[in-house]
Amino acid sequence: MRLFSLAFSARQSGNCSKMLQYCLSQPPLKSMEQDPCNTFSLTISPCQRCNYECFLENGICPLNSSDDVALLYHKWSQSDLALFAIPVYGGNLAAQYLAFYERGQAFFKDGQSYHDLLRKTHFLIIGNLIAGGDMALHQALYPFANLGFWPETLILSSYEYGRKSISGDLIESAEVRSRLEAWIGRIAARIAL
């Protein structure tokens, strides 16, 4: 089985990256073929300056040749399981995730293909509840409304564990690691790993 993981972080070694690295090292995920990515080292442009070419029957997004979004959607579509770690900035999901998400309209001409991707995707949200982390989680879940299934989600708040998110040390909490392991267990049970 192939696992695609993507950290939507502004930092190369922030909480999102460290959390995903920890998850990828845990059974049963460590036995999977892994394809970890971090948007820190990628270019993701939001929709802009176009004439909605992606909505045409054979239309292609004019941005595909200038950034990494097409590559990421290809990796996601080729995976059996996808884990997205998304930080919360200003009470919203990171702009990198929102740009990636909005660009999806360029890759799917039918709803079923996108639903197939969502079915194998699970979310780890890193954000303080007092700063809008719960509302950001709702943003991540909007695409799943009325589909008949929901992703496994976990929201972790640095504040809840007496840490500062800027420190990037949330993974050092034994309780956080335990919650990550339970999240992985729920995902594994769904796909019978």
| pLDDT tens for each residue of the chain, 193 residues long | 999 999 999 898 999 999 999 999 999 899 999 999 999 999 999 999 888 888 887 778 888 889 999 999 999 999 999 999 999 998 999 999 999 999 988 887 666 788 899 999 999 999 988 888 889 999 999 999 999 999 999 999 998 999 988 888 999 999 999 999 999 999 999 887 5
Residue whose entry in the numeric block shows the structure tokens 């993701």: 44
pTM for the full predicted model? 0.93
Q: What angle do CA 71, 87, 181 make, to 5 degrees?
A: 90
φ, ψ of residue 6 in degrees (nearest 5):
-140, 120
Q: Are 85 and 170 in contact (CB under 8 A)?
A: no
Contact residues for 153 (Cβ-Cβ < 8 A; gap 6+): 122, 123, 124, 125, 137, 140, 141
Could you read off the pLDDT of 67-96 as tens digits, one per residue? Answer: 999 999 999 999 999 999 999 998 999 999
Q: Are 183 and 124 in contact (CB under 8 A)?
A: yes
| CA–CA gap between residue 188 and residue 152 (Å, rounded) | 10
- pLDDT for 132 equals 85
φ, ψ of residue 59 in degrees (nearest 5):
-75, 150
CA torsion angle for 96, 143, 26, 30 (degrees, to 10)? -80
